[in-house]
Structure 1
Amino acid sequence: MLGFSSTQSRTLHLTWIAFFLTFVAWFNMAPFNTTIINQLGLTQTEVNILMICNVVLTIPARIVIGSLTDQYGPQKVFSGLLLFSGLVCIAFSLCKSFEGLLITRLLMGIVGGGFVVGIKMIAEWFPHNKMGLAQGIYAGWGNFGAAAAAFSLPLIALPFSIDIGWRIATAFSGVLCIIWGYVYFRFCPDIPERSHGFEMAIHGTIKVYSRKDLLLQSLVLLPIYGSLALFVWKLAGHPFTLIPSSLSWLLISGLLGIFAIQVIRCWQINLPDIKQANPDYEKYSFSQIAILSMVYSLTFGSELAIVSIFPQFLETTFSLSVGMAGMLGASYAFMNLIARPGGGWASDRFGRKQILILLVLCGMVTHGLIGEINSTWQLPNAIALVLIGSIFFKAGNGACFAAVPLVKKSLTGQLAGLTGAYGSVGAVCFLTLYSFVSPQEFFKIIAAYAFLVFLALLFLKPFPSPQK
């Protein structure tokens, strides 16, 4: 298929299905937001909190899982994550209180870290000139799990009563994850010549080769801890109190302390090597990852946020049923099937930087227009605009991760983990902003941030020709 060997094709298909199922599990709550509100007596504010919980632990999870993948290999890590995902889904389906929902959605955020495992698996099995297309197929078809959850889970729940249907549907997604965890472990081995010599860097420190990159890495860690602090702040009375103010300040102080320790450790580990002479072939520019992380915080962060709120936005704006809103809401993520692989292919064919700039600019314009949608619009026109807008950011995801494995292949897991974590940083920030502004203002904020990312992309250094 597409010039891939049989082994490459098998690895690709087994891996994107694994990623697909983790996304079905990760977003199995979104189609049932209003159902859960009615059945468990929750408020809209509590559901907003749950949506943020769903992505907040993905931030550290992607960094840690990236390091675990470099150390132990994608086969073992992905299989274990699928098993964990299935158990959390079943626990979520049994919840009868807001506190139970909150804990399980926090744990489900860890499942979102599975993305970086497949990035490593594909990077090991595919050459540079096929990297963009292969990564695009993996991530695009896998990301479609969010859309599949939106339109399939309500259909699974339909034959059952309202109070139990959503529980059966979410538990079913967990059972599928457990089954595929066994399949993946049994039939998707790591590349035979994979090196086991990478450092086990759960502390998040990535090897760099200059003082400038060392300082930049320290700065790049700040938004990661800042987004976690933002989540704690929101739980402490914004808009209502879930934890005492004293505890929130203690947690925020703890996060600041961990950030400081991590920065110090980063300097302690890297500074001795920087002072030594290193061969040129070992060196890379960390600014490349910093800029690509900004891109992903926009393209994927906005996707996570919009997938979480779009079915409910359609339901309230156009007075649709839950099932219809879920199916139409899936339209935003639906284009992942072709747009993300298309972005990777275009990046392979026409150049990484040029394609990223084009896609971010087009996404900026279309999401600004999406911010004009209201109840006076014709529903088909609104859906068509959303489909067009989704293409550019989905393709941007593919183009972004066509470039990440080319920065430093031996550090692919860690670099993909950091870049992927920024996708969740973006989601936490966007969803937090959504709780304070109207949906129209929310989409315009995304467009404004896209302009800042465009400016950053102007400083992205060219990558080697993918045709070489």
Structure 2
Amino acid sequence: MSTANFNVLHFSDPKVRTLHLAWIAFFITFFMWFCHVPLMPLIKDTFGLSMAEAKALLFLNVALTIPARTIVGSLVDKYGPRVMYSALLAISGCICFMFAWAQDYTQLAAARFLLGFAGAGFVIGIRLVTDWFPAKTAGAAQGIYGGWGNFGAAIANWALPAMSSILIGYVGVAYSWRVAITIAGVVAIGYSFIFYIMVRNTPKGATYFAPKKVGAMEVSNKADFVLYMIMLSPIFLAMGVICWRLSPAQVGLLSEFVTYAIWAGLLLWFCWQAFGAYKLNAEAIHEGVVGIHKYKFKQVALLDLSYAVTFGSEVAVVSMMPLMFSNEDTYAFSLAKASVMAGCFMAMNLIARPGGGWLSDKLGRKKTLMLTVAGSAIGYAGLSMMTPDWSLLAIGAVVVFCSFFVQAGAGATFGVVPTIKRRLTGQIAGMTGAYGNVGAALFLLVNSFYAPNVFFGVITGACIVVLGLLFLFMEEPKGQIAEVLPDGTVEMIDVG
């Protein structure tokens, strides 16, 4: 694949080399994050889990990623991608060991919750790629980073069951999946050292723009601050819903006291975030921001929603598909066939997400985003009509069609992210990425209570609503954005 400005096979080009190092890091984090999904039938048998307990693990998988993406997004803007990605890979690798060698359901659930931290790696690479590529090729570069990195989930769906099957002959069924997941952790820790040695935050001579403070996002006026608070709320509500799903009223993983304590903690955390945001933006709220430094937060809000219905639905679908296809009461596929079918949904990331970013560069960012969200709605409508009576070929065709537009939509979303405000790219990517997990959590909640056709129908409706909002309110990025250099001078950055 090539564009007018870079070829992905030119490894001697520093920016291309950095892109490859970035997507490999993302690939490894995604492989770890979704390592449990294809092995869930084996894990379920090892611990004697009920279907409700197994589905609770799917919820836990996205729980920590919601706040982690916003926090890591702020930290990467401040400390840089090199340090943050290296640290995240090493820490996630250690958590991977905890999950692999859990001895009871409580330990398994705690490790699964903590491993959601690996999902925050995505936003680090967004900031890195943004600083290495100009705006006119940012969509394609972000698409390659996201798409090829996301392919780690597809490889996990295909490779881990095969690896586990091979290992059975050496360590037995009970330990085969544990050793397979342990290998993923070893690879992550090893690559953390490679990444730290070989990657730099910016090209030689370029400035790394950092926000004023770590924490809340800067806004331009009072209206944007209100919208920021509105968009911040669902992030905390989603975590509250996850907590409720794990409470005694549901699967009983948390005690009543712990449930209420977490809810109180989430409320206090939201109030603390709101106060910090007001304190940071007090001058902008009362006096506004100078023209060249303004940006429209509605663009961020729309990207949040589009990522919730594209990547968010992708995570939910990939999480539930192996169980759906292997369930004896529905499709009754073998573990291998169910994993391959679920892997097909992720496999399109290899071309679809880069394609969405590339089209965003070529056709326009708003037009591409609307087109891909519309295609996603049609695809999910097809999945909602799917039944066990369909042929394997028909099922596969609908799965691939839907996955293409969903992943192209995720690529198109992040084709817009670098055009908003350069020094806030990590925070914007973090919030947008968090909304992907908000969407995943809410869609998985629907999956917990309703049949798959209802689950897919709800996603269809959500895509249609977001499509309407994009049509009415999104603006095509154009012109330039301003950033202040360390010496106080202003640099104008093209985004058209």
Q: Calculate the TM-score normalised by the size of structure 2.
A: 0.91
Q: 1:230 aligns with which of 241, 258, 261?
A: 241
User: 2:151, 2:349 within 8 Å by CA — same for their partners in 1?
Assistant: yes
CA distance in 2, matches of 1:50, 1:425: 16
* Higher mean C-alpha displacement, 21-30 vs 277-286: 277-286
1:137 and 2:144 aligned: yes
Greater Cα offset, 438-447 or 322-331: 322-331
Write the distance in 1 (CA, Å) between the matches of 2:98 and 2:259. 27
| TM-superposed deviation, 1:196 | 5.9
Matching residue's letter, 1:164 = Y
- Are 1:153 and 2:160 matched, yes or no? yes
For residue 397 of structure 1, what is the aligned residue in structure 2? 410
Q: Hey, what's the Cα distance between the residues in 2 that align with 1:396 and 1:216?
A: 23
Which letter maps to 1:16? W
Q: Of residues 352, 356, 374 in structure 1, which corresponds to 2:369?
A: 356
User: In the alignment, which residue of structure 2 is the partner of 1:463?
Assistant: 477
Structure 1 vs Structure 2 CA RMSD: 1.5
2:320 paired with 1:309: yes
Supply the distance in 1 between the matched residues of 2:252 and 2:97 (Cα, whole angstroms): 28
Match of 1:119 among 112, 121, 126: 126
Q: How far is the alpha carbon of 1:467 from its aligned partner?
A: 8.6
Q: 1:197 and 1:412, CA in 2 relative to 1: closer, same or farther beyond 3 A?
A: closer
Q: State the identity %.
A: 37
Q: Does 1:369 align with 2:382?
A: yes
1:261: Cα distance to partner? 2.6
Match of 1:219 in 2: 230
* Structure 2 letter corresponding to 1:209: S
Matched, 1:76 2:83: yes
Aligned AA for 2:226?
L
Residue of structure 1 in register with 2:425 after alignment: 412
Look up the equivalent residue of 1:271 and give its one-letter code.
A
Report 1:49-448 matches (<5 A): 49-159=56-166, 160=168, 161-191=172-202, 192=204, 193-195=206-208, 197-202=210-215, 205-276=216-287, 278-316=289-327, 317-448=330-461
Deviation at 1:279, TM superposition (A): 2.5
The normalised TM-score by structure 1 is 0.97
Given that residues 225 and 285 in structure 2 are in contact (C-alpha distance below 8 angstroms), is that contact kept between their aligned partners in structure 1? Answer: no
Tell me if structure 2 keeps the 8 A contact 1:19–1:118: yes
Offset, 1:277: 5.8
Shift of 1:163: 1.0
| Residue 22 (1) aligns with residue 29 (2) | yes
Greater shift in the superposed pair: 253-262 or 369-378: 253-262
In the TM superposition, what whole-angstrom CA distance separates every residue of 1:71-100 from its partner, at most 9, and x where no partner exists? 111011001111111111111111121111
Q: Indicate yes or no: 2:46 matched with 1:33.
A: no
Supply the AA of the counterpart residue of 2:152: G
Letter in 2 for 1:150: N
Moved over 6 A (4+): none
Letter in 2 for 1:283: K
**Runs of 5+ in structure 2 lacking a partner?**
480-493
SS in 2 for 1:464: coil
Superposed CA offset, 1:309-340 (max 9, x none): 11221122332221221122100000000000
Amino acid at match of 2:478: P
Q: 1:309 to 1:219 in 2, by over 3 A?
A: same
Q: Matched residue of 1:318: which SS?
A: coil
